Amino acid sequence: MTKPTPGRIEVISGPMFSGKSEELIRRLKRARIARQRVACYKPDIDLRYHRTSIASHSAQTHEAITVATTEELKADLFPRLHDIEVIGIDEAQFFDPALVPLTVELVHLGKRIILAGLDTTFAAEPFGPIPALLAISDEVTKLSAVCMVCGAPAIHTQRLGQSQELVVVGAAGLYEARCRACFRPYADENQAEQLELPHS
Which residues of the chain form contacts with Zn ion (CB under 5 A)? 147, 149-150, 152, 179, 182
Active site (catalytic) residues: 91
Q: Sort 199 into a burial class: Cβ within 10 Å, 0-12 / 13-18 / 19+.
A: exposed
Does position 141 interact with Mg ion (CB under 5 A)? The reply is no
Q: Which residues pair with 153 in a beta bridge?
A: 146
Q: Residue 15: in which H helix or E strand, if any?
A: none
**70 vs 93, beta carbon nearer ligand ADP:** 93
CB of 13 to Mg ion, least distance (A): 11
Which string of DSSP letters, residue by residue, matches 125-178? -B-TTHHHHHHH-SEEEE--EE-TTT-SEE-EEEEPSS---S-----BTTEEEE
User: Taking CB within 5 to 8 Å according to partner kind, which of ligand ADP, Zn ion, Mg ion, none is near residue 148?
Assistant: ligand ADP
CB atoms within 10 A of CB 56: 20
Does position 145 interact with ligand ADP (CB under 6 A)? The reply is yes
**7 vs 15, beta carbon nearer ligand ADP:** 15
User: Taking CB within 5 to 8 Å according to partner kind, which of Zn ion, Mg ion, ligand ADP, none is near residue 130?
Assistant: none
User: Taking CB within 5 to 8 Å according to partner kind, which of Mg ion, Zn ion, ligand ADP, none is near residue 98?
Assistant: none
**21 vs 120, beta carbon nearer Mg ion:** 21
Q: CA–CA separation, 117 vs 45, rounded Å?
A: 13
CB of 197 to ligand ADP, least distance (A): 16
| DSSP single-letter state for residue 53 | E
CB of 146 to ligand ADP, least distance (A): 4
Instruction: Choose among 180, 165, 135, 189: nearest CA to 15.
Output: 180
- Tell which one of 21, 66, 93, 158 touches Mg ion (CB under 5 A): 21
**38 vs 154, beta carbon nearer Zn ion:** 154
Amino acid present at 80: R
Count of residues near ligand ADP by CB under 6 A: 15
Give the pairing type, strands 65-67 and 38-43.
parallel
Residues that bind ligand ADP in the complex, under the rule CB under 6 A: 14, 16-22, 56-58, 145-146, 148, 177
